[in-house]
């Protein structure tokens, strides 16, 4: 069902604005009134990355009067495959600043507010408060739950998007929408997935153009809510499969037992989201405690192995396509899934062989999960490499590419 416009219209459009937005003005559903509402709107975009890039560009082009950008990261070369708001000359620059500069080229009439800080419990309410709605371009569960809860407490619409490899999802969570029947993010996902079970885009990859598909859906929903046109994705989940070129729309109902927006809420204030989501499982954290080595230590161990004074097996638990990009010399590949299903144990030296097992992955998360399996199988002296191959390339062998 359509909702009343979120924003009152601005008093007028200038002659320059009429020229710029003329293709909007001749759409009956938008017209002069809708464009004035966009001019009077304030939208916060969380993240100037894969989803944030197209969202920011199209919100600016559409004439949203005030855009907030929150991002504390810097532009990396690996971002440019999908984060189209940045260019080659922006590498090493603040993403928020780079995005502001690109927006100025797209539409100098837009006011841009930059928040170069990490979103957390201490600042989220103050940052969100001035904006009409929130567009979420984050890629981790802890931040998504934080954004959902803060938006709920401030009664603001939360436009969510998610991308992974060839698949994307989008929805609008707004329990305070007229009618009081709309769900929040927790109604769809009451609990985060088990740590280590869902790879991030940094681990699993994402088709660059998928970001444009989902980011543009998010902007479309923002425009509809701000101007009061169409039927927003409130209470609906849009699922996109880029390989099959298929869109599906599912109904998402409000959960009466939801911990946040249900009849008897248990989440009545912001919580510890890192603990709630957990980067790694308790088993992995316990296994890694006291059994984590640095890449510098590994380099020394490899030299000793080459000299014949030490013997161990170095196992890379990443996927084969990652192994083709870069690798730590002397490692063998056994993907993490092989540890989880038990097949990897057949490829390791016998427990009583005296040969130590050393595990690594891209950053240390997957290898910690594999380490828990290995230790549980009796390899008590097994260790994993903190920081993984990323740390190896940065600190030991910068001649290799990073990803």
Domain-wise residue ranges, the chain: 15-277, 282-395
Q: What is the mean predicted confidence (pLDDT) over 350-374?
A: 94
- Yes or no: say if 7 and 224 are a contact pair by the CB < 8 Å rule: no
pLDDT for residue 280: 74
**pLDDT surpasses 90 at 205:** no
Distance from CA of residue 218 to its chain's centroid? 14
Average pLDDT (283-306) is 94
Given 184, 211, 258, 361, which residue is catalytic?
Answer: 361
> Would you call 211 a catalytic residue per the annotation?
no
**Confidence at residue 105, expressed as pLDDT on a 0 to 100 scale:** 97
Return the CATH superfamily for domain 15-277. Answer: NAD(P)-binding Rossmann-like Domain (3.40.50.720)
pLDDT at 112 > cutoff 90 = yes
pLDDT tens per residue across span 13-33: 999 999 999 999 999 999 999
Residue 361 a catalytic site member: yes
Q: What is the 3-state secondary structure (H, E, C) of 117-144?
A: CCCCCCCHHHHHCCCCEEEECCCCHHHH
**Nearest one of 388, 290, 394, 402 to 331, comparing CA atoms:** 388
Tokens of 352: 């009583």
Instruction: Give the Cα separation of 264 and 206 in Å (integer).
Output: 38
Q: If 0-12 CB within 10 Å is exposed, 13-18 middle and 19+ buried, where does residue 199 land?
A: middle
Average pLDDT (62-91) is: 97
Q: Which CATH architecture has domain 282-395?
A: 3-Layer(aba) Sandwich (3.40)
Under the banding of pLDDT at 50, 70 and 90, the label for residue 196 is: low
**Dihedral over Cα of 330, 332, 333, 336: its sign:** negative
Residue 62 has pLDDT above 70, yes or no: yes
Q: What is the pTM of this model?
A: 0.83
**CA gap 124, 271 in Å, rounded:** 12
Query: Which one is catalytic: 201, 211, 258, 261?
Result: 201
Encode 261-281: b = buried (16+ Cβ within 10 Å), e = exposed.
Answer: bbeeeebeebeebeeebbbbb
| pLDDT mean across residues, the chain | 95
Mean pLDDT of the region 151-171? 97
Element (H, E) at 173: strand 167-173
Within 8 A by CB and 6+ apart from 34, the residues are 24, 27, 227, 228, 229
Nearest CA-CA partner of 135 in 61, 44, 211, 49: 44
pLDDT band at 291 (very low <50, low <70, confident <90, very high): very high
pLDDT for the residue 285: 87
Question: For residue range 119-146, what is the model confidence (pLDDT) as tens digits?
Answer: 999 999 999 999 999 999 998 999 999 9
């Amino acid at each position: 069902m359509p909702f009343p416009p979120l924003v009152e219209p601005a008093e007028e459009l200038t002659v320059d604005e009429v020229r710029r937005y003329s293709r909007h003005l001749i759409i009956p559903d938008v017209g002069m009134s809708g464009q004035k509402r966009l001019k009077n709107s304030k939208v916060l975009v969380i993240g100037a990355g894969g989803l944030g890039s197209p969202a920011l560009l199209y919100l600016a082009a559409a004439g949203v009067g005030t855009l907030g950008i929150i991002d504390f990261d810097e532009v990396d070369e690996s971002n440019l495959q999908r984060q189209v708001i940045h260019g080659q000359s922006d590498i090493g620059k603040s993403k928020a600043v780079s995005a502001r500069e690109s927006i100025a080229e797209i539409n100098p009439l837009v006011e841009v507010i930059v928040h170069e800080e990490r979103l957390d419990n201490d600042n989220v309410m103050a940052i969100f408060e001035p904006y009409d709605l929130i567009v979420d371009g984050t890629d981790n569960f802890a931040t998504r739950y934080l954004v959902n809860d803060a938006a709920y407490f401030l009664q603001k619409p939360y436009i969510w998007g998610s991308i992974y490899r060839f698949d994307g999802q989008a929805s609008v969570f707004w329990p305070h929408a007229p009618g009081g029947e709309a769900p929040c993010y927790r109604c769809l996902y009451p609990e985060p997935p088990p740590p280590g079970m869902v790879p991030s885009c940094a681990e699993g990859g994402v088709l660059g153009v998928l970001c444009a598909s989902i980011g543009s859906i998010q902007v479309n929903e923002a425009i509809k809510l701000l101007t009061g046109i169409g039927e927003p994705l409130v209470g609906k989940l849009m699922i996109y499969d880029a390989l099959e070129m298929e869109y599906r729309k599912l109904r998402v109902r409000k959960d009466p037992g939801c911990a946040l927006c249900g009849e008897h809420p248990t989440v009545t204030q912001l919580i510890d989201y890192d603990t709630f989501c957990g980067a790694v499982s308790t088993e992995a954290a316990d296994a890694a405690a006291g059994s984590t080595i640095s890449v510098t230590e590994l380099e020394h161990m490899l030299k000793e192995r080459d000299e014949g004074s030490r013997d161990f097996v170095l196992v890379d638990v990443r996927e084969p396509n990652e192994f083709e990009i870069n690798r730590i010399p002397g490692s063998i590949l056994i993907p993490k899934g092989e540890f989880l299903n038990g097949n990897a144990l057949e490829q390791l030296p016998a427990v009583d062989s005296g040969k130590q097992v050393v595990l690594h992955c891209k950053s240390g998360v997957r290898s910690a999960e594999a380490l828990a399996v290995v230790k549980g199988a009796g390899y008590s002296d097994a260790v994993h490499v903190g920081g993984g191959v990323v740390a190896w390339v940065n600190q030991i062998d910068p001649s290799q590419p990073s990803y």
